Amino acid sequence: MMDGGCRVTVEPGPCKMTTVITATMDDDMNVVFEVQTECESVRALVDSLPPLSPYEEIERTYSDSEIYKAASLAIKHLACPVPCAMVKAAEAASGLGIKRDVNLVIE
């Protein structure tokens, strides 16, 4: 992955619509997302977001997060893990978080 960037692959479960999120920093130190997915809702989420300041975004609450606010309009399934993955990608792309896997095991 390029310097200052992060790629996160999300295998969400029953919908089987794998999503690959790429977060990079632009010249203004804002995070920009690109996505590869078959999910129209996730594409709508990413398309609705402007470049975001990762420093501001990771300090917000769920209800104030630009990512989660946009997700609440675009994604109909509350358990979708993509918004969380986007926050993690923003943290890692900006150097504010460690690139470390997250795992959910449903039994």
Residue 80 belongs to a domain with what CATH number?
Answer: 3.90.1010
66 within a domain of the structure (yes/no) = yes
Residue found under tokens 């790429």: 22
**CA-to-CA separations, 42 to 9, 30, 33, 34, 61, in angstroms, rounded:** 13, 20, 11, 11, 21
pLDDT of residue 2: 46
Each residue's pLDDT tens digit, 25-81: 999 999 999 999 999 999 999 999 999 999 999 999 999 999 999 999 999 999 999
Cut 0.85: pTM above it: yes
100 within a domain of the structure (yes/no) = no
105 within a domain of the structure (yes/no) = no
Q: Give 71-84 as a DSSP string.
A: HHHH---TT-SHHH
- Token readout for 60 is 């917000």
47 within a domain of the structure (yes/no) = yes
- Domains of the chain: total: 1
Q: Provide the residue range defining the domain that includes 73.
A: 6-92
50 within a domain of the structure (yes/no) = yes
106 within a domain of the structure (yes/no) = no
